[in-house]
Amino acid sequence: MITEKLQNAINEQITAEMWSSNLYLAMSFYMEKEGYNGMASWLKKQASEEKAHACEMASYIIKRGGKAKLDKIDVVPNDFGTPLEVFEQVAQHERRVSKMIDELVDVASAEKDKATQDFLEQVEEEATADGIVDMIKKAGDAGIFFVDSKLGERR
Ligand code: MG
């Protein structure tokens, strides 16, 4: 059985993952409106991935005999600037989420729950956004639609 403290901490993370999902979906809508359909598609897939993280965490809590809960999800921004600025914000947000997961691992460690530590380390995603920021910088204005079409290839 998972401890109440850890269950609550993971439930908070579930809400944070859903906020991330909404953030990326809002970015996707924004980029589609701006005419960057490949980037919009990449961001929509990212949004689905965050929702999948929330579901994985919920299933994990339930499997460990706890109760998964969703809380109120705060409003997300709807305007994000240039493509470079959008992906800088994605990278920044990923770093913030990594830090949150690290803190959650610390809670699991304090509760001496090794299984949860292992589970959380699996969920933690690799920072792909930094690579995209780099690609956009190198491409410049002339290459931006090349990057857009590259990102549109994400499965
Ligand atoms: Mg996530």
Mind listing the pLDDT tens digit for each residue in 70-107?
999 999 999 999 999 999 999 999 999 999 999 999 99
Ligand 1: distance of its center to the CA of 101 in Å? 9
CA–CA gap between residue 75 and residue 70 (Å, rounded) = 15
Closest by alpha carbon to 28, among 68, 67, 78, 65? 78
pLDDT of residue 13: 97
Calculate mean pLDDT across residues 131-146.
Answer: 96
CA of 22 to the centre of ligand 1 (A): 11
Centre of ligand 1 to C-alpha 125, Å, is 7
Q: Which pLDDT score, from 0 to 100, does residue 123 have? A: 78
In angstroms, what is the span from residue 38 Cα to ligand 1's centroid?
A: 21
Q: Mean pLDDT, to the nearest integer, of 108-112?
A: 95
**Residue 47 has what DSSP assignment?**
H
The answer to whether residue 6 scores a pLDDT higher than 80 is yes
**Rounded distance from Cα 20 to ligand 1 centre (Å):** 7
Distance from the CA of 142 to the center of ligand 1, in angstroms? 32
Q: Which amino acid is at 39?
A: M
User: What does the pLDDT read at residue 128?
Assistant: 84
Q: Does the pLDDT at position 125 exceed 70?
A: no
121 pLDDT band, cuts 50/70/90, is: confident
pLDDT of the residue at 122: 79
For range 139-155, the mean pLDDT: 95
User: Does residue 126 have a pLDDT over 70?
Assistant: no
Quote the pLDDT of residue 127.
63
Which 8-state DSSP code applies to residue 71? -
**Distance separating alpha carbons of residues 146 and 31, to the nearest angstrom:** 15
Centre of ligand 1 to C-alpha 141, Å, is: 30
Classify residue 110 by its DSSP letter. Answer: H
In whole angstroms, what is the distance from residue 60 CA to residue 29 CA?
Answer: 31
Contacts of 63 (CB under 8 A, 6+ apart): none
Q: How far apart are CA 84 and CA 75, in angstroms?
A: 23
